[in-house]
Chains A and B, each alone.
Chain A
Amino acid sequence: MSGRTMKETERVEAPQGPGHRFMGGQLGQKAISFGPSLRRLVGHLRPERVKVVFVLVTAVVSVGLAAFGPRVLGWATDIVFAGAIGSNLPSGITREQAIEGARAAGQTQIAELLTGVDFTPGVGIDFRALGLLLLLCVALYVGAALFGYLQGYLLNDVVQGTIYRLRSSVEDKLNRLPLSYFDRQPRGELLSRVTNDIDNISQSLQQTMSQLLTSLLTIVFVVTMMVIISPALALIALITIPVTMVVAGVIMKRSQTQFIAQWRHTGALNGQIEEAFTGHSLVKVFGRQEAVRERFDEENEDLYQASFGAQFLSGLIMPIMQFIGNLNYVIIAVVGGLRVASGTMSLGDVQAFIQYSRQFTQPVTQIASMVNLLQSGVASAERVFELLDEDEEPSENHKDMIGEASRGEVCFEGVSFRYEADRPLIDDLSMTVRPGQMVAIVGPTGAGKTTLVNLIMRFYDLDAGRITLDGVDISTIQKSSLRSQVGMVLQDTWLFKGTIWANIAYGRPGASDEEILEAAKATFVDRFVHSLPDGYETIIDDEGSNISAGEKQLITIARAFLSQPALLILDEATSSVDTRTELLLQHAMSALRSNRTSFVIAHRLSTIRDADLILMMEEGRIVERGTHDELITLGGAYADLYNSQFEGPEVEMGMGAAAAAT
Chain B
Amino acid sequence: MLWKILRQYLSVHRRELVFVIVLQLVATIAALYLPTLNADIIDNGVVLGDTGYIVRIGLVMLAVSFVQIGATIVAVYFGSRAAMGLGRDLRRSIFTKVAGFSSQEITSFGAPSLITRNTNDVQQVQMVTATGLTLMVMAPIMMVGGIIMALREDVGLSWLVVVAVPILAGSVGFIASRLIPSFRRMQKRIDDVNRVLREQATGIRVLRAFVREPYETERFDEANIELTNVSLTVGRWMAAMFPIVMLVLNLSSVAVLWFGGLRIDAGAMQIGSLTAFLTYLLQILMSVMMATFMLVMIPRASVSADRMGEVLESESTVRMPDEAVTEVHSAGYLDFEHVTFEYPGADYPVLSDVSASARPGRTLAIVGSTGAGKTTLTNLIPRLFDVTSGTIRVDGVDVRDLDPEVLWSKIGFVPQRPYLFTGTVASNLRDGKADATEEEMWAALEIAQARDFVEAMPDALDSPIAQGGTNVSGGQRQRLQIARAVIRRPEIYVFDDSFSALDLATDARLRRALRPVTRESTVVIVAQRVSTIADADQIMVLEDGRVMGIGTHDELLATCPTYVEIVESQAEAKAAS
Contacts of B217 in A (CB 8 A): 171-172, 175
Contacts of A333 in B (CB 8 A): 38, 41, 58, 61
How many angstroms between the C-alpha atoms of A316 and B76 in the bound complex? 7
Contacts of A22 in B (CB 8 A): 123
A174 engages B204 (CB within 8 Å): yes
Q: Categorize the interface residue count of chain A.
A: 35 or more
B271 engages A319 (CB within 8 Å): no
A236 to chain B, nearest CB (A): 13
Whether B572 is near chain A, meaning CB under 8 Å from some CB there, is yes
How many angstroms between the C-alpha atoms of A646 and B38 in the bound complex? 98
A124 engages B271 (CB within 8 Å): no
Which of A134, A148, A170, A576 is in CB contact (< 8 Å) with B258? A134
B80 engages A308 (CB within 8 Å): yes
A124 to chain B, nearest CB (A): 5
What mask results when residues 158 to 174 of chain A are scored 1 for a CB within 8 Å of chain B, else 0?
01110110011011101
How many angstroms between the C-alpha atoms of A137 and B88 in the bound complex? 51
A199-B190 contact in complex given A124-B265, A175-B216, A292-B99, C-beta closer than 8 Å: yes
A109-B246 contact in complex given A127-B261, A494-B202, C-beta closer than 8 Å: no
Taking CB atoms and an 8 Å cut-off, the chain B residues in 58-113 that contact chain A are 58, 61-62, 65, 68-69, 72-73, 76-77, 79-81, 83-85, 87-88, 91-92, 95-96, 98-99, 101, 103, 106-107, 110-112
What mask results when residues 646 to 659 of chain A are scored 1 for a CB within 8 Å of chain B, else 0?
11110010011001
A578 engages B528 (CB within 8 Å): yes
A293-B215 contact in complex given A127-B261, A156-B239, A311-B130, C-beta closer than 8 Å: no
How many angstroms between the C-alpha atoms of A484 and B210 in the bound complex? 6
A338 engages B574 (CB within 8 Å): no
Binds A, one of B153-161, B227-235, B332-340, B391-399: B227-235
How many angstroms between the C-alpha atoms of A77 and B261 in the bound complex? 8
Whether B321 is near chain A, meaning CB under 8 Å from some CB there, is no
How many angstroms between the C-alpha atoms of A282 and B378 in the bound complex? 13
Taking CB atoms and an 8 Å cut-off, the chain A residues in 250-293 that contact chain B are 266, 269-271, 273-289, 291-293
Taking CB atoms and an 8 Å cut-off, the chain B residues in 108-164 that contact chain A are 110-112, 114-115, 118-119, 123, 126-127, 130, 134
Whether B253 is near chain A, meaning CB under 8 Å from some CB there, is yes
Contacts of A296 in B (CB 8 A): 92, 95
Contacts of A144 in B (CB 8 A): 243, 246-247, 250
Q: For the complex, would chain B's binding face be called helix, strand, loop or mixed by DSSP majority?
A: helix
A445-B475 contact in complex given A152-B242, A337-B54, A581-B369, C-beta closer than 8 Å: yes
B265 engages A83 (CB within 8 Å): yes
Contacts of A575 in B (CB 8 A): 500-501
How many angstroms between the C-alpha atoms of A333 and B41 in the bound complex? 8
B68 engages A323 (CB within 8 Å): yes
Q: Which residue of A lies closest to B241 (CB)?
A: A152
B221 to chain A, nearest CB (A): 7
How many angstroms between the C-alpha atoms of A71 and B238 in the bound complex? 28
B499 to chain A, nearest CB (A): 11
Whether A57 is near chain B, meaning CB under 8 Å from some CB there, is no
Contacts of A312 in B (CB 8 A): 76-77, 80
How many angstroms between the C-alpha atoms of A137 and B411 in the bound complex? 82
A303 engages B88 (CB within 8 Å): yes
Which of B112, B258, B569 is in CB contact (< 8 Å) with A583? B569
Q: Which residue of A lies closest to B230 (CB)?
A: A160
Binds A, one of B191-199, B352-360, B436-444: B191-199
A327-B62 contact in complex given A281-B379, A494-B202, A545-B110, C-beta closer than 8 Å: yes
Which of A18, A194, A278, A334 is in CB contact (< 8 Å) with B111? A278
Contacts of B463 in A (CB 8 A): none
B428 to chain A, nearest CB (A): 10
Whether A400 is near chain B, meaning CB under 8 Å from some CB there, is no
A281-B85 contact in complex given A275-B421, A333-B61, C-beta closer than 8 Å: no
How many angstroms between the C-alpha atoms of A480 and B216 in the bound complex? 14
Contacts of A111 in B (CB 8 A): 49
Whether B42 is near chain A, meaning CB under 8 Å from some CB there, is yes
Q: Which residue of A lies closest to B567 (CB)?
A: A579
B219 to chain A, nearest CB (A): 8
B257 engages A73 (CB within 8 Å): yes
Contacts of A112 in B (CB 8 A): 49
Q: Which residue of B lies closest to A312 (CB)?
A: B80
What mask results when residues 504 to 546 of chain B are scored 1 for a CB within 8 Å of chain A, else 0?
1100110010000000000000001111001100000000000
Which of B45, B431, B475 is in CB contact (< 8 Å) with A286? B431
A582 to chain B, nearest CB (A): 6
Q: For the complex, would chain A's binding face be called helix, strand, loop or mixed by DSSP majority?
A: helix
B120 to chain A, nearest CB (A): 9
A134 engages B204 (CB within 8 Å): no
Contacts of B31 in A (CB 8 A): 322
B569 to chain A, nearest CB (A): 3
How many angstroms between the C-alpha atoms of A497 and B193 in the bound complex? 12
B42 to chain A, nearest CB (A): 7
B254 to chain A, nearest CB (A): 5
A306 to chain B, nearest CB (A): 9
Whether B317 is near chain A, meaning CB under 8 Å from some CB there, is no
Contacts of A548 in B (CB 8 A): 370-371
Contacts of A507 in B (CB 8 A): 210
B209 engages A167 (CB within 8 Å): no
Whether A406 is near chain B, meaning CB under 8 Å from some CB there, is no
A239 to chain B, nearest CB (A): 16
What mask results when residues 562 to 577 of chain B are scored 1 for a CB within 8 Å of chain A, else 0?
0001101111111001
* Number of chain B residues whose Cβ lies closer than 8 Å to a Cβ of chain A: 163
Which of B107, B201, B220 is in CB contact (< 8 Å) with A190? B201
A488 engages B235 (CB within 8 Å): no
Contacts of A288 in B (CB 8 A): 431
A171 engages B200 (CB within 8 Å): yes
Whether A580 is near chain B, meaning CB under 8 Å from some CB there, is yes
Q: Which residue of B lies closest to A327 (CB)?
A: B65
Contacts of A61 in B (CB 8 A): none
Interface centre among A276, A303, A459, A488 (most CB of B within 10 A): A276
Binds B, one of A89-97, A419-427, A430-438, A602-610: A602-610
A521 to chain B, nearest CB (A): 19
How many angstroms between the C-alpha atoms of A273 and B111 in the bound complex? 10
How many angstroms between the C-alpha atoms of A72 and B512 in the bound complex? 95
A270-B115 contact in complex given A81-B271, A297-B92, A319-B69, C-beta closer than 8 Å: yes
Whether B329 is near chain A, meaning CB under 8 Å from some CB there, is no
A603-B49 contact in complex given A80-B274, A445-B473, C-beta closer than 8 Å: no
B99 engages A578 (CB within 8 Å): no
Contacts of A168 in B (CB 8 A): 220-221, 224
Q: Which residue of A lies closest to B260 (CB)?
A: A80
Whether B181 is near chain A, meaning CB under 8 Å from some CB there, is no
B523 to chain A, nearest CB (A): 14
How many angstroms between the C-alpha atoms of A316 and B72 in the bound complex? 8
A459 engages B199 (CB within 8 Å): no
Contacts of B528 in A (CB 8 A): 578-579
How many angstroms between the C-alpha atoms of A647 and B505 in the bound complex? 9
Give the 10 A-B residue pairs with the shortest CB-CB distance, closest first.
Answer: A152-B239, A109-B49, A156-B235, A583-B569, A334-B58, A148-B243, A494-B203, A319-B72, A315-B76, A145-B243
Given A171-B221, A282-B419; 18 other pairs, CB 8 A cutoff? A62-B243, A76-B257, A84-B264, A109-B51, A164-B225, A164-B227, A175-B213, A179-B204, A202-B231, A284-B382, A304-B88, A338-B51, A338-B55, A445-B473, A484-B211, A583-B570, A586-B569, A603-B504
* 28 interchain pairs, CB-CB under 8 A: A130-B261, A131-B258, A141-B250, A141-B251, A149-B243, A171-B221, A175-B217, A182-B201, A191-B198, A194-B201, A195-B197, A199-B190, A270-B115, A279-B468, A282-B419, A284-B404, A285-B382, A289-B99, A293-B99, A300-B88, A311-B80, A319-B72, A334-B61, A340-B46, A444-B503, A550-B370, A645-B504, A656-B512
